[in-house]
Amino acid sequence: NMEAIGFSEIVNEMKTIQDEISSYINETTNECYLEDIWDYQKGNGGGRTRVWEHDQFIEKGGVNFSGIEGPQLPSAALKSLPISLEKAGFKATGVSIVLHPINPHIPTIHMNIRYFEAGDTEATEPEVWWFGGGIDLTPYYPQFDQVVAFHKTLQKVCEKHDRDYHAMKLVCDDYFYLKHRNEHRGIGGIFFDHLNDGDKAQVLQFVVDVGRTFIKLLDIIFPNQELSYTDAQREFQLWRRSRYVEFNLLWDRGTKFGIQSNGRTESILMSMPKTACWFYDRKVEEGTPEHDLFQFIQPRDWVNISIDELNLSAEY
């Protein structure tokens, strides 16, 4: 029964996921977030932005919730929607996360889950609705076993809900690609959009499970906090972070849409690291762990691969 799932129920699920992940990060890192509660100016609702800016574990991170309703869609949104929705109201909610740890051995991780509907706000069922989201990982000093574990964890949540992990992985690889560099941003993950096939409750359950999986993924990478690192490794991380910035500002659809629709700038740019470095035409020496990164940041069948298939330096 599709009518059973209302917007407020989806909003509550999103808030719960934000709370669970925020608590986990607080407890694991012993660092607290700063909370910024904001109201949506052009309609109803608002959000809870939670930001970590510290000097031991999370250099910059955010776990953001928003739930908004508006009388009219932003023009940027209409491009992909039927013309009948030109004057329609809309509702949108989601959780968006980016964590940039200080230690170069911990990857940057990003997650987003979202729900959108548009149509007559008084109607029982909106004319258009869908879910979207994804999780992806951007390591600096990747560990093979952790990369495989990351992908197997995502595969598991997809298969539990009869979702095609390989298709969602492919979309992710295609999406997080820096065309101007001919480079992929990280080791990928899953990415899905306009998910509205079948029963809304079942699609919601999948999306909620993706959100819950985030903590399992942090369990894989957060223990790397124990690994020591050098100034040179930190510099390499800051250089690679510049690619993250380039992707977010030049290619990311969410950033572009947010800015074009006069969204809340501080929340939209929450994904930016606190520090990043650009060096002119920097090259990486072969036979080093830094050079090995490029063996990782290309599309591979991580759930079925053996380490011998990567051309890694002998230091491992």
- Which residues are known to be catalytic? 110
- What type of residue sits at position 103? N
132: closest CA among 149, 115, 152, 109?
Answer: 115
For 5, other C-beta atoms within 10 Å of its C-beta total 20
Residue 234 exposed, middle or buried by CB count within 10 Å (0-12, 13-18, 19+): middle
* Concatenated DSSP letters of 133-144: EEEEEE-SS--H
113: closest CA among 214, 33, 202?
Answer: 214
Strands (E), the chain: 34-39, 44-52, 58-70, 89-101, 108-119, 128-138, 177-178, 183-184, 188-195
